[in-house]
Amino acid sequence: MDNNKGYFLGKNAVVTGAASGIGLALCEELLAQGAGKVVLADINDENLRTHEKRLERQYPGQVKGIRCDVTKEAEVRRMIGEAVALLDGRFDLLVNNAGLGLSGMFTPIASDKNLSEKLKLRVQTNDDWEKAFAINFYGALYGSRAAIKVMTPQGGGQVVNIISGIAWSPMAYQTMYAATKAALNMLTLTLRYEYWDENIKFNSATPGTTLTAIWGEVGPPEGAQTAQESARKILKGVAKNQRLILGDKGDEEGAPHCFDPSMEEGLDDYFINVARVRRGGKLTI
């Protein structure tokens, strides 16, 4: 049983990156908590159709999958338009969840010429950086903009942007992931205040370290929680309209420490150690 006091009862939602992992779990949890209709949006058509069919059997008439590449604003606008028509004209909640993990090297490292090979990480180009921002930052920006357009005339709504604890944890070889998610966090928090008086709620949410495909071959670190656990934590914060929803203990501790000047030395020690361990070949820490 959820503790969200019926917050999601009858609400209509769109979730991006919904064909896998946390996005899929968010859809399942929303439906389990009494949501009205849920639109799953994803670029992976095969997974999308599989889960659309499965969920539609369980919740007839409440589920729809729409293929959408969130890096293209026209596609996001079209997807939201189609979704709103399916949602009987009422669009209560958008979760901009689609995202990629994006590890890599900023430049070659002069003192260790074989590092890229050893870590199996590519040196990232400007093209890689543009693609990273396109998915992890602009995807959510386009979604937020399209949602505002629909939510304003209906008198309000809620937009949740999925960031990551990496937004305040400068982990070596994850420059792109950290930069895109930190940017998305500030976009979201700023929109929260710009649209507060329009009754459109914005929330920034970290899922916490979660067992999903995003970890690829490397695999998640020990203690990763399930996507269902992350989804429940996120929805708890959404129901409370928390400005920053923190998905696990690590994020709860990391967020307040990040910019605390009294912790500078400890933070340096910690993140220098992470960089060295990673340089040694162990990427998951």
Ligand X SMILES: NC(=O)c1ccc[n+]([C@@H]2O[C@H](COP(=O)([O-])OP(=O)(O)OC[C@H]3O[C@@H](n4cnc5c(N)ncnc54)[C@H](O)[C@@H]3O)[C@@H](O)[C@H]2O)c1
Residues at the contact surface with ligand X, assessed by CB under 6 A:
16-17, 19-23, 42-44, 68-71, 97-100, 135, 162, 164, 206-207, 209-210, 212-214
**What residues are annotated to the active site?**
177
Strands (E), the chain: 13-16, 38-42, 63-67, 93-96, 157-162, 200-205, 244-245
DSSP class of residue 195 equals: S
Question: Closest approach of Cβ 108 to ligand X, in Å?
Answer: 26
DSSP class of residue 221 equals: P
64 beta partners = 39
Closest CA to 151 of 190, 202, 98: 202
What is the distance between the alpha carbons of residues 14 and 23, in angstroms, rounded to a whole number?
10
Strands 63-67 and 244-245: unpaired
CB-nearer residue toward ligand X: 42 or 92: 42
The answer to whether residues 271 and 171 touch, using CB atoms and an 8 Å cutoff, is yes
Question: Closest approach of Cβ 247 to ligand X, in Å?
Answer: 7
CA distances from 23 to 17, 162, 212, 238, 253 (A): 5, 10, 10, 14, 24
* Residue owning tokens 């309209």: 241
Question: Closest approach of Cβ 184 to ligand X, in Å?
Answer: 9
Question: Closest approach of Cβ 57 to ligand X, in Å?
Answer: 20
CB-nearer residue toward ligand X: 73 or 154: 73
CB-nearer residue toward ligand X: 62 or 228: 228
Question: Closest approach of Cβ 13 to ligand X, in Å?
Answer: 16
CB-nearer residue toward ligand X: 21 or 254: 21
Residue 113, SS3 per DSSP: coil
CB-nearer residue toward ligand X: 123 or 213: 213
